[in-house]
């Protein structure tokens, strides 16, 4: 079949180049939005009398039939179909005839068509799925945090689940298990907010119509109304420079960078879950359906799902970097280098969606070994509380920090723990120590003193959960 652009050529394209030039295997997933844009464009051509009402009806019906073929997996791709735009136009001509079908592309280029399709795809295909799965992850994190705010270890005790908080991977201070879970809810909430802004609110990029820009110079059709076309496709703005519109991929860069950040958040959460599920930590037990075994060692239960998420985050970053490198040396307007923007975008979308789905399942199903969490607490983690005790006695914090360090040093040299040091020995270190120092050796009291906004105390955690509750309701 003759190429759409083949009129000025005498020789056929080299088969190797034809294969390299073809993007139909990648961009066929644009079929819904390509048809959506074409239907709206046909209305615009009818409005300026370049299509009769009968011709527009034929085109609309033909596009509807093509939609049904794709929907029912009956659309037959041919070797001559370079891309999704070529395939749909070819099929339309087959259905309604080349004379009427050939009019649809009047004033339109694949340059502005693909740019517009990508914007539509992000808005109508990617955004709903990614925003939904991020909301489900937020809901899951919130639910698990709520589960461990107050738990009963026996009939007379009701206290939050507490375990070690870490800095530099060293035990630092006691924190509520719920506080740790929520420390990942907030990054994913930011991710959800940023996605909404990128897709719906920014005054450029994804919310801007590029269709009607032609190949480079714009649309020459007298009376063609791009503002009406933008409204028809639910865009907030029209591009104001046709040369910029056909080459702009900033909106894809926004999404790829955003996906990289989400990937980093997923990777860090994965790392925590991997560590906490090891025999050495033992705080959590991963569900069987998200783990695998060893072909040699029968006892193994490997966190492959989390390791894959952690590894895939590198690909998200590399996809972002790849498009940056593609763009950095291009001259103005469209260049074929941009064909790979779709592969990078779709790959990142697929990776992110599957990673988020897996993480939702893990968060909902992992078990917590409460005893291991409590048993991992050690009195030296209350050294900061000891310093605060002295601060409340009037000692400046830097001096109190120094004294608390001496207490830790004394305990280490005497092969004991700081809570077992006699009051007499404590007084020898600093006379401000009194009998009430015994109240320091309580992990629940330690956690609950952090009542200020953002702290690990129960009141602060409840406040965090309330904010997330309202956010998810409003969303």
Please give the pLDDT value at position 5: 46
Nearest in space to 246 (alpha carbons), one of 203, 204, 217 = 217
Residue 61 in tokens: 């019906």
The second-level CATH assignment, the architecture, of 6-106 is Orthogonal Bundle (1.10)
What is each CA distance from 184 to 138, 175, 234, in whole angstroms?
A: 9, 14, 34
Active site residue 294: yes
Instruction: With beta carbons less than 8 A apart as the criterion, state whether 123 and 199 touch.
Output: yes
The answer to whether residue 237 is catalytic is: no
- Alpha-carbon gap, residue 310 to 289, rounded angstroms: 18
- Which one, of 38, 43, 26, 125, lies nearest residue 77 by Cα? 26
Please name the residues in contact with 463: beta carbons below 8 A apart, sequence gap of 6 or more.
453
Residue 141: its pLDDT value, please? 98
Q: Which of 80, 105, 124, 168 is catalytic?
A: 168
Are the C-beta atoms of residues 383 and 404 closer than 8 Å to each other?
Answer: yes
Architecture of the CATH domain 379-461:
Orthogonal Bundle (1.10)
**Cα 163 to Cα 154: distance, rounded to the nearest angstrom:** 18
Q: Quick one: angle between helices 84-96 and 110-121, nearest 10? A: 110
- Among 143, 77, 163, 85, which Cα is nearest to 364's? 143
Backbone angles phi, psi at 125, to 5 degrees: -110, -50
What's the token pair of residue 212? 């009607």
The pLDDT score that the predictor gives to residue 155 is 41
Write the DSSP string, 392-413: HTT--HHHHHHHHHHHHHHHHH
pLDDT tens per residue across all 475 residues of the chain: 555 545 555 556 667 766 766 789 999 999 999 999 999 999 999 999 999 999 999 999 999 999 999 999 999 999 889 999 999 999 999 999 999 999 999 999 999 999 999 999 999 999 999 999 999 999 999 999 999 997 655 544 568 999 999 999 999 999 999 999 999 999 999 999 999 999 986 666 799 999 999 999 999 999 999 999 999 999 999 999 999 999 999 999 999 999 999 999 999 999 999 999 999 999 999 999 999 988 888 888 899 999 999 999 999 999 999 999 999 999 999 999 999 999 999 999 999 999 999 999 999 999 999 999 999 999 999 999 999 999 999 999 999 999 999 999 999 999 999 999 999 999 999 999 999 999 999 999 999 999 999 999 999 999 999 999 999 998 7
Contacts of 207 (CB under 8 A, 6+ apart): 119, 123, 199, 200, 201, 235, 236, 237
Instruction: Count the alpha carbons within 13 Å of 94 in the hemisphere toward its beta carbon.
Output: 13
Which H or E element spans position 363?
Answer: helix 340-365
The answer to whether residues 247 and 334 touch, using CB atoms and an 8 Å cutoff, is yes
What is the residue whose two structure tokens read 């939904």?
132
Tokens, residue 433: 């120590």
Q: b/e per residue, 255-285, with b = 16+ CB within 10 A? A: bbbbbbbbbbbbbebbebbbbbbeeebebbb
Three-state secondary structure string covering 167-181: ECCEEEEEEEHHHHH
CATH no. for 112-375: 1.20.200.10
- Which letter does DSSP use for residue 55 in this model? H
Question: Residue 206: which of 98, 92, 314, 126 has the closest Cα?
Answer: 126
Q: Quick one: pLDDT at residue 18?
A: 66
At 435 the pLDDT is 95
* Full DSSP string of 111-131: HHHHHHHHHHHIIIIIHHHHH
How far apart, in whole angstroms, are the C-alpha atoms of residue 271 and residue 260?
A: 16
What residue segments make up the domains of the chain, in order of their start? Answer: 6-106, 112-375, 379-461
Distance CA 468, CA 284 (A): 24
Q: What is the DSSP letter of 161?
A: -
Q: How far apart are CA 371 and CA 443, in angstroms?
A: 14
Distance CA 409, CA 413 (A): 6
CA distance 224 to 215: 16
pLDDT score at 200: 83
Query: pLDDT at position 13, please?
Result: 65
End-to-end CA distance of the chain: 50
Catalytic residue among 294, 305, 318, 354: 294
Closest CA to 227 of 217, 237, 218: 237
Which residue has 């509750």 as its token pair?
469
Q: What is the dihedral of CA 116, 122, 124, 125, to 10 degrees?
A: 120
How many Cβ atoms are within 10 Å of 101's Cβ, its own excluded?
Answer: 21
């Amino acid at each position: 079949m003759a190429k759409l652009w083949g009129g000025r050529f005498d020789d056929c394209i080299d088969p190797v180049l034809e294969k390299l030039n073809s993007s139909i295997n990648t961009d066929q997933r644009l079929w819904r939005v390509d048809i959506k844009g074409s239907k709206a464009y046909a209305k615009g051509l009818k409005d300026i009398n370049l299509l009769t009402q009968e011709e527009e009806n034929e085109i609309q019906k033909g596009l509807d039939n093509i939609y049904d073929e794709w929907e029912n997996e009956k659309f037959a791709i041919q070797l001559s179909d370079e891309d999704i735009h070529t395939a749909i136009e070819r099929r339309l001509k087959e259905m309604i005839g080349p004379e009427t079908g050939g009019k649809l592309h009047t004033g339109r280029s694949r340059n502005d068509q693909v740019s517009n399709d990508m914007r539509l795809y992000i808005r109508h295909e990617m955004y709903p799925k990614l925003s939904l799965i991020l909301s489900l992850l937020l809901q899951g994190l919130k639910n698990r945090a709520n589960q461990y705010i107050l738990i009963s270890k026996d009939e007379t005790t009701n206290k939050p689940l507490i375990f070690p908080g870490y800095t530099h991977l060293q035990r630092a201070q006691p924190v509520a298990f719920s506080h740790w879970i929520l420390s990942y809810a907030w990054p994913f909430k930011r991710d959800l907010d940023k996605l909404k802004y990128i897709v719906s609110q920014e005054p450029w990029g994804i919310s801007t119509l590029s269709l009607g820009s032609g190949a480079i110079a714009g649309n020459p059709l007298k009376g063609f109304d791009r503002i009406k076309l933008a409204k028809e496709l639910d865009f907030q703005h029209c591009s104001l420079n046709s040369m910029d519109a056909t080459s702009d991929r900033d909106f894809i860069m926004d999404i790829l960078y955003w996906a990289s950040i989400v990937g980093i958040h997923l990777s860090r959460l994965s790392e925590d879950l991997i560590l906490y599920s090891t025999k050495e930590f033992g705080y959590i037990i991963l569900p069987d359906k998200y783990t695998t075994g060893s072909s040699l060692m029968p006892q193994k239960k490997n966190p492959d799902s989390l390791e894959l998420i952690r590894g895939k985050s590198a690909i998200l970053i590399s996809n972002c970097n790849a498009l940056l490198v593609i763009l950095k040396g291009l001259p103005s307007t469209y260049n074929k280098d941009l064909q790979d923007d779709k592969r990078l975008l779709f790959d990142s979308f697929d990776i992110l969606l599957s990673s988020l789905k897996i993480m939702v399942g893990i968060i909902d199903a992992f078990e917590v070994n409460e005893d291991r969490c409590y048993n991992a607490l050690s009195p030296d983690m209350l050294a900061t509380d000891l310093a605060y005790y002295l601060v409340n006695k009037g000692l400046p914090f830097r001096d109190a920090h120094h004294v608390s360090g001496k207490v830790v040093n004394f305990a280490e040299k005497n092969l004991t723990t700081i809570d077992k040091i006699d009051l007499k020995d404590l007084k020898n270190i600093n006379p401000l120590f009194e009998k009430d120092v015994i109240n320091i050796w309580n992990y629940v009291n330690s956690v609950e003193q952090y009542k200020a906004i953002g702290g690990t105390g129960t009141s602060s955690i409840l406040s965090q959960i309330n904010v997330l509750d309202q956010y998810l309701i409003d969303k």
